[in-house]
Structure 1
């Protein structure tokens, strides 16, 4: 009989960006323990997966990610981050890019995601993650043109 894996030690995220990077790395590697070490230890944390309902509480969020990542990690990257930050809370809105294999070859799904972070004594922690399918008009804005020429 295999021993259950001990819970991952909390990841200390010094900034919301550190927490976000670690969250997506954990998702890509399929490491539910590491992912959950980034969530706040609050029973009112919540997560909404694309096409799904609201999942509330650490145990329910963990169970949802255990199901999603049962076959391994998700090849995900992100871009076009818009940030709002105050002393102890940060909200990031971004575009997730997920690589998927189809009968026609490799394709990409785009999701709009909102991540909310709270500053705690153990660093920045996720308190909410909400992702939904991006529409055809939800493309990242083009990079601004340089204002100076050298």
Structure 2
């Protein structure tokens, strides 16, 4: 019988960590709706204790209509993940891609709910391939490290 511990990975808590919705001027409701969207998405991971991490996925969406800010929505969706017995080399992928993949549908729903309750048309964020983004970020970091090493 093996005494080796099986890796554990589980979402233990899901919550909205921060939320803000702003409509700077009601004048936006009197104009034809032709929005220009600026969407910024980021994620962070913080170790809470030896087996738990808080992973946060933050989005800021600014909608402009006729060069005037129509609304700004800023939401951070977070989760507490149990991560135990996972190899150190797998941890960046889990925290940087796997966990954000789990959080994104909840973030997407929260954005849409706020926008529609603000009396605007539905806003469904396009699904994101966090695996591909993680790989691209890793390759970019490796290239930057190689360039920095070459300059030294």
Answer with 1 or 2: which has the greater Rg: 2
Class of the TM-score when normalised by the shorter of the 2 chains? under 0.3
Write 1 or 2 for the structure with the bigger share of helix.
Answer: 2
